[in-house]
Amino acid sequence: MKKVLLIALAVVVTAGLVGFMVYKQQSGYTKVLTAKLMKQDLATVVSGTGQIKPKTYVNVGATSFGRITHLYVKEGDHVKKGQIIATVENVQPEANVDAQKATIAAAKTDIASYIAAEKTGEANVEHAKADLEQKKLDWQRAQGLYQAGIMAKQDYDAKKAAYDTDLASLDQAVAGLNQAKAQTDSARGHLQTQVATLRFNEDALSKTVSTAPFDGIVTNLPVREGETVVVGIQNAEGSTLMTLADMSVITAEVKVDETDIVNIKIGQPADVTVDAIPGKVFKGHVTLVGDQALLRSTGVATSQSTTGTEEAKDFKVVVTVDTASDELRPGLSTTAKITTARKSNVLSLPIQALTMYAPPPPGSKDGKVEAASTSSPSTTVQPKQGVFVVDKDAHGRQRAKFVPVTTGITGATDIEVLTGLSPGQDVVTGPYKTLRVLKDGALLKKDTEKPLTPANGNS
């Protein structure tokens, strides 16, 4: 029994010594998460949320006062250009048109009578001219006979009076003809006025019938048959019949954060998703980038805001969907993911591996990062952007080595490496608290118990 106890004690002591030596050996190591650098395709994506909107839509307003007699469509109906969509009572406008047509017919009759009077006047003028010519010849002969002493003075005076009378009759006939022509011209002028009034009345009558201005869909119908509509300010109650949207060209109007708007350009591709249609992606491209900042709390442009409050701002971006779909309806909530940059087969590293590190200034003993901030201005070392790579010392132990890097485009979880690293290198990705205080040259031990994910890297 004593021998068994001694053997057990020896085993416990040996295990304790081994454990102590292992603990001493690993006490100076820092457990880290690592990732291996590789080449891959990267894309920078900017997201914005908003709603589906048609590129073209109009509020069809009431163009005539009166009661709605017929509504030929309902909300959600598709209509064709020129299709009748509503009518308003038209008794008075129609009566005005009929009355004006009768007035025009009477005016045309008057013109016809004045033209006939012109013809009569012309005949009278010709008759007066013929009589005058005859009387002129008689008087000329009378002058010769009277001078020869053959004709009596009384006969001579009679011939001269007859000539003067016919001369006056011709002037009277010409004046009558001119009067008839003036009456005809006046009647024609009145007719033109009546025709213009008819056009006005016909226009008023046509406005009692509303037609679709283009092919589209009825997205809003705020009125019902029997209601009275008025011609008034757009969107005022009783002045809008319905809203038509041209769904042949559909857009996603979204808001993008002010920090991302500088990277968005017209023509960039975008993936549009709609909350109401899960699992489906609509391809599109940027067609408009707003130049007015919008206050996030109110949506009002900063140029129109009267307050000087500093707050987050957004910019409007319009993405046009490449292929229209009947599934898309105005007002649906949407998210647009815009690809602002894309590169293929580039060296990249996890974003969480990037850190700012200030090497200790010359003469520093402990090599702490804090030493840089307590040094004199002449020896202060500015922090640099870089990563800690896993390097081996002369004894084969893994150590952290800080390497400054320059970066390019940023993907969802990775960032492009332009200089400083090469494919296949192991870089420290976390944990975040460890990476924040890690020093150049620190002993490392890879933590194989945790998965290499960004979530763990940020823990």
pTM as predicted: 0.60
CA distance 332 to 247: 13
279: left (phi over 0), alpha (psi -120 to 50) or beta: left
Cα→Cα distances 86→58, 124, 209, Å: 15, 60, 6
In this prediction, residue 219 carries a pLDDT of 87
**Ranges of each domain in the chain:** 29-43+347-457, 46-51+249-342, 92-206
CA distance 338 to 280: 16
Tokens of 342: 């894309």
Element (H, E) at 118: helix 91-147
Unique residue bearing structure tokens 């408009």: 288
Tokens of 282: 């609509």
CB half-sphere exposure, 239, CA atoms < 13 A:
7
CA distance 136 to 143: 11
In this prediction, residue 346 carries a pLDDT of 92
CATH number for the domain formed by residue range(s) 46-51+249-342:
2.40.30.170
- For residue 443, the 8-state DSSP code is B
Tell me the pLDDT of the chain (459 aa) as tens digits.
Answer: 666 666 766 666 565 544 444 343 445 688 899 999 999 999 999 999 999 998 888 889 888 888 999 999 999 899 999 999 999 999 999 999 999 999 999 989 989 988 988 888 888 888 888 888 888 888 888 888 878 878 888 888 888 888 889 888 888 888 888 988 898 888 888 889 999 999 999 998 999 999 999 898 898 899 999 998 888 765 566 788 899 988 888 999 999 999 999 999 999 999 999 999 999 999 999 999 998 888 887 767 766 665 556 778 899 999 999 998 888 888 899 999 999 999 999 999 999 999 998 877 665 554 444 434 444 555 567 889 999 999 988 888 999 999 999 999 988 889 999 999 999 999 999 898 888 888 988 998 887 654 544 444 343
What fold characterizes domain 29-43+347-457?
A: 2.40.420
CA distance 314 to 281: 24
What DSSP assignment string belongs to 397-415? -EEEEEEE-EEEEE-SSEE
CATH superfamily of the 92-206 domain: Helix Hairpins (1.10.287.620)
Query: 219 near 26, Cβ under 8 Å?
Result: no
CB half-sphere exposure, 226, CA atoms < 13 A:
0
